Amino acid sequence: MASNAVEIRQGSHPHVGWIDIQKNGIFVECAIMKRDRLGNVFYFPIKWLDEIDKLRLYNIITNRNARSFELWDLMSQITLNNGVNSLSYFHQLVRQMTPSGQILTPGIGQTGSSDWDTRVRTASSEQLFSPEMIAEAAAKAAGEAAAAAAIAAYNQATSPAVQAVAPAPTPAPKTVKKTTKKKS
């Protein structure tokens, strides 16, 4: 039976670790993008980078905020010197290792989970939008709608264009009498 944990040995910098990608005892230096609650690890091997990209990654992982955020979040906040967001730039290299050791390209519709997580998780807890999230969003939307209605009522009541005086009656149109001269 395969191990249900991805072994990562700490590297020399934050967000750098050594992972046995092929489960053959050979550890590869990787940038660790994030670890999710199911035990999946999102990473990319540093050996895939050229010297310029290694320098870019080094500047990110030695950033003053590097220890405060996961690398995924950190990269989303940093623009590279070529004008591209660093997460957009490096995302194409990211792979996902499941707790059982399977390697996936991250995407919608698939994820890995440990055997323990599969046994204890209920089906409803893993819905994309839980009932709690839906209720919270509905309450927020209702609160925003109520606030918008209150602001509109206030603006209408305090507007100088709104007056309690009845509008003045419209004068009747004037008729012009035309006189015509007869030719003799």
Nearest Cα residue to 113 out of 15, 43, 33, 41: 41
Q: What pLDDT digit, counting tens, does each position of 47-76 carry? A: 999 999 999 999 999 999 899 999 999 999
Q: What is the pLDDT of residue 100?
A: 85
Specify the length of the chain in residues. 184
Q: What is the pLDDT of residue 115?
A: 52
Query: Kind and range of the H or E element at 119?
Result: helix 115-120
Q: What is the pLDDT of residue 42?
A: 93
27 φ/ψ angles, rounded to the nearest 5 degrees? -90, 140
Q: What is the pLDDT of residue 24?
A: 87
Query: Kind and range of the H or E element at 56?
Result: helix 51-61
Query: Kind and range of the H or E element at 143?
Result: helix 131-158
List the Cα angle 142/147/150 in 5-degree steps: 125
Successive 10-residue mean pLDDT values, the chain, 184 residues: 69 92 90 90 94 94 92 94 93 91 79 53 49 66 70 66 55 66 64
Query: Kind and range of the H or E element at 89?
Result: helix 86-90
Token pair for residue 41? Answer: 């690890």
